[in-house]
Amino acid sequence: MLASRVASFALVPPSSRLHRSRRRATEEEIAWMLDDSAWDEDDEEDDEAFDEQMRVRATAEHASYASRTTPLKPAKDAVDAVRTRGVALVEDCLPDASLREALRSRILEQRDAGAGLSSVLGERCDGGATTRFDIRLSYDDVVSEATTTLLRGQLADALDALVGPDAPLWECAALVSEAGAPAQTVHGDTFWDSEPCLFTAFVALQDINVELGPTLFFPGSHLSATAQDDLEDDGPSALDGFDAEVGVMRAGACTLYDGRLLHAGQPNSKGTRVLFYVSFKAPGADGGLGNEAAHSIDAELFGRGLTLGDLLA
């Protein structure tokens, strides 16, 4: 089942990528989420109506916060920032420019070949072209080197403190947006729970300014038990109680965030933006209320059962 179809039920929009975490859903709701027949994937009119519903919603949300966004500032203490604010900007996580360029080229080659494309993105601009892509990366020499290089220094220390060495590698993928990509609907990557279950690092493979459509975060929303439901019930006004900060950053920096945090990709008016990302799931967290289409990791890599500790060794 497409993640976008889960979105219409659970606040989480077409951009959502991950297994959903613990939520006190009814048996009927869970059955609906896991029912592939809930939406007809072959019905173009069904798809177009849903896409239009999401575009209208994203446009209204963007209009409500666009005038008050500010840049996310580098974190002095990444662990504290993620715990208290839900997100930390960590600089110089992938400092080797040649490695970044090799990874960026590999990602775009895989995208252009149509290999590993996830079904969870694919928002279209008004002209009908696909402008966002989620790509499950083959764990080749370039991706492997980038992953192990990334998991050094302060990012490694932060992840170790947040989830520990036994945390499984949950995702290893890339996000690409092209010029013309509209704003995404605001969403969390997991349902809300009192404890975090997922942490993700978005790594910039080129400088990301406002024109390239950085990710927007609503700090503190990960601690609100009602933020997701309030957004679903009350619309964009539910976002007014949170700051709106965009992850503009230099190449090699990353935004490390709690999967419960509300966030959204911003409109891309300039060109190709590529993010490499990895996610780690907290040991014992419940990933059972999700769907496999939203699990952005190569099947062979996931089958290896790698943990944070394995990658830090």
In this structure, what CATH number is given to the domain that contains residue 134?
A: 2.60.120.620
What does pTM read for this prediction?
Answer: 0.85
pLDDT, averaged across the chain:
84
pLDDT of residue 123: 53
pLDDT of residue 238: 94
Tokens 């009350």 correspond to 234
pLDDT of residue 31: 39
Q: How many other C-beta atoms lie within 10 A of the C-beta of residue 109? A: 10
DSSP labels, the chain: --HHHHHHHHS--TT--S--------HHHHHHHT-GGGS-TT-HHHHHHHHHHHHHHHHHHHHHHGGG-EEPPBPSSHHHHHHHHSEEEE--SS--HHHHHHHHHHHHHHHHTT-SB-SS---B-TTS-B-EEEEE----HHHHHHHHHHTSHHHHHHHHHHH-TT-BEEEEEEEEE-TTPPPPPPB-SS---SS--EEEEEEESS-B-GGG-PEEE-TTGGG-SSHHHHHHHHGGGGGTTS--EE--B-TT-EEEEETTS-EEEPP--SS-EEEEEEEEEPTT---TTS-GGG--S-HHHHHTT-BHHHHH-
- Indicate if the pLDDT at residue 37 is higher than 60: no
Boundaries of domain holding 270: 3-312
- Indicate if the pLDDT at residue 240 is higher than 90: yes
- Indicate if the pLDDT at residue 91 is higher than 90: yes
Per residue in 202-237, pLDDT (tens digit) is 999 999 999 999 999 999 999 999 999 999 889 999
- Range of weakest confidence among 29-33, 81-85, 92-96, 148-152: 29-33
pLDDT of residue 294: 66
Provide the token pair at 35: 């029912």
Give the sheet arrangement for strand 263-265, strand by strand. Answer: 70-71, 245-246, 215-217, 263-265
Question: What is the pLDDT confidence band of residue 25, given thresholds at 50, 70 and 90?
Answer: very low
Q: Taking Cα atoms as reference points, which of 64, 94, 124 lies closest to residue 244?
A: 64
Please give the Cα distance from 203 to 93 (Å, whole number): 8
- Indicate if the pLDDT at residue 101 is higher than 90: yes
Question: What is the pLDDT confidence band of residue 8, given thresholds at 50, 70 and 90?
Answer: very low
pLDDT of residue 129: 77
Please give the Cα distance from 84 to 80 (Å, whole number): 6
Please give the average per-residue pLDDT across 247-259, as a whole number.
98
Burial class (CB in 10 A: 0-12, 13-18, 19+), 11: buried
pLDDT of residue 12: 35
pLDDT of residue 30: 35
Instruction: For strands 245-246 and 70-71, give the pairing.
Output: parallel
- Whether residue 150 contacts residue 122, with contact meaning beta carbons closer than 8 Å, is answered with no
Tokens 């039920």 correspond to 9
Question: What is the pLDDT confidence band of residue 23, given thresholds at 50, 70 and 90?
Answer: very low
Per residue in 149-173, pLDDT (tens digit) is 999 989 999 999 999 999 999 999 9
Please give the tally of structural domains in the chain: 1
Q: Percent of the chain having pLDDT more than 90?
A: 68
pLDDT of residue 128: 66
According to DSSP, the residues that pair with 134 across neighbouring strands are 175
- Indicate if the pLDDT at residue 54 is higher than 90: no
